[in-house]
Amino acid sequence: MEWSSRRSVIRMNGDKFRRFVKAPPRNYSVVVMFTALQPQRQCSVCRQANEEYQVLANSWRYSSAFSNKLFFTIVDYDEGADVFQQLNMNSAPTFMHFPPKGKPKRADTFDLQRIGFAAEQLAKWIADRTDVHIRVFRPPNYSGTIALALLVSLVGGLLYLRRNNLEFIYNKTGWAMAALCVVFAMTSGQMWNHIRGPPYAHKNPQNGQVL
């Protein structure tokens, strides 16, 4: 609890992992993110997953339901390579739940390849494994509002400069080009990714290759 009061995600090495996660008895659940965040590992997915993990852990720490029944921890490969070897783990990031009693089951490993690593999906998985329900609170993101304000300012400035000659507004070719751009943007693969939120990687069930 003292560590958790300092930071939402507790960093662990091999000794701390064996003492506070693996060694019984425990009266609390532990969610562990196994990752490789060092720059030389060049794991961009690890950094993105870590951001979502931090959002989830902060939501739990600052919620009214916060208690000593659940803790969020992280094991980096460069700080706990022996833990990866002990668990026969050869990929990152990986999320695992360690229950208070017994060994982790298959469902205690989060299916990242199929579900993705959004904080909301992680919270749903944790609720299924621990009955602890976490409402995800994200920090406000003003980038969309700023972009819209800049666009409105740009259009307003253009109209002001051309206030004596607004014939271009009635240019059918210009409107047709703008409509085509909108159509192409809405039918692009990026828009599909934005709506469906597919995982960054997918494991081939036949040969196990990560695509």
Q: Which residues pair with 33 in a beta bridge?
A: 74, 95
Measured over all CA atoms, what is the biggest interatomic distance in the chain, rounded to whole angstroms? Answer: 80
pLDDT digits (tens, 9 = 90+) for 138-167: 877 788 889 889 989 998 888 788 778 777
pTM over 0.95: no
pLDDT digits (tens, 9 = 90+) for 107-149: 999 988 888 889 999 999 999 999 899 999 887 778 888 988 9
CATH 3.40.30.10 in the chain, residue ranges = 1-130
Does the 1-130 domain belong in CATH 3.40.30.10? yes
